[in-house]
Amino acid sequence: AQKITQTQPGMFVQEKEAVTLDCTYDTSDPSYGLFWYKQPSSGEMIFLIYQGSYDQQNATEGRYSLNFQKARKSANLVISASQLGDSAMYFCAMREETSYDKVIFGPGTSLSVIP
Amino acid sequence: NAGVMQNPRHLVRRRGQEARLRCSPMKGHSHVYWYRQLPEEGLKFMVYLQKENIIDESGMPKERFSAEFPKEGPSILRIQQVVRGDSAAYFCASSPDGRYGYTFGSGTRLTVV
């Protein structure tokens, strides 16, 4: 069964607009963490943001925020004020305490920012 | 403080040869993870190692693939008798304690010809 689902294979956003990338996850582990990574065309994996399952508030890092809805098992990434350099693949990922904390990645969403 | 170092960046092997991919974790990180990314796909977990121990190898193919993280030196992912289907980007990541996100290396792009 898919642990991480990203239903948007590709997204377009106008420069300076906000965009939401969807992520839903499946776990029965009460202790888990959720991540978003960015992979530009150069290929490296860049850590963006982390949300723990027990965190009371949604995580924010600069222009990135994570909309964490625990009951719905969703962890959407919101990028505000999109920039051309935001064009990349974005991966949602999860670690489960009962799985030795290894991180499992979703299939990714390709974001293109239009000038 | 150097990041996670992977080498080589690009590796070309003929079918049947061996491929050795090296990963030096960040200083102070004792947890190492290997992932494979096939073209146009996400990252697939392969193996999780701590010094001298394999913790979880549930994502490793049963044959031809092996990984180690010795007491001294880098972690090595070894692929014997490579086939075309092994062509992929192999990423290594490290963590100080297995939590709160990894730091990834730049990856090794393996091409089997």
B45 contacts in chain A (CB < 8 Å):
102-105
Q: Does residue A56 contact residue A70 with C-beta atoms inside 8 Å?
A: no
Q: Do B42 and A102 touch (CB under 8 A)?
A: no
B1 pLDDT more than 60? no
Comparing alpha-carbon positions, the chain B residue that sits nearest to A96 is: B99
A45 contacts in chain B (CB < 8 Å):
43, 91, 93, 104, 107
Tell me the pLDDT tens digit for each residue of A65-90: 999 999 999 999 999 999 999 999 99
Q: What is the pLDDT of residue B99?
A: 65
Is the minimum CB–CB distance between B107 and chain A shorter than 8 Å? Answer: yes
- Give me the mean pLDDT over the A87-114 stretch: 90
- Give me the mean pLDDT over the A16-38 stretch: 95
Per-residue confidence at A100, pLDDT binned at 50, 70, 90?
low
Q: What is the pLDDT of residue A98?
A: 78
Tell me the pLDDT tens digit for each residue of A38-74: 999 998 999 999 999 999 899 999 999 999 999 999 9
Integer Cα distance of B94 and A1 in angstroms: 26
CA dihedral A27, B39, A43, A95 (to 10 degrees): 10
A66 contacts in chain B (CB < 8 Å):
none
For tokens 């096939």, the residue is B38
Residues 6+ apart with CB under 8 A from B101: A33, A35, A47, A50, A103, B95
For tokens 């044959």, the residue is B63
Q: Do A100 and B56 touch (CB under 8 A)?
A: yes
Q: What is the pLDDT of residue A11?
A: 94
B2 pLDDT more than 80? no
Q: Three-state DSSP class for B86? A: helix
Q: What is the pLDDT of residue A61?
A: 92
Largest CA distance in chain A: 44
Tell me the pLDDT tens digit for each residue of B68-97: 999 999 999 999 999 999 999 999 999 887
- The pLDDT mean for chain A works out to 93
Taking one residue from A and the other from B, the number of pairs with CB-CB distance under 8 angstroms is 54
Q: Do B104 and A107 touch (CB under 8 A)?
A: no
Which tokens sit at B44? 């697939």
Q: Do B35 and A100 touch (CB under 8 A)?
A: no
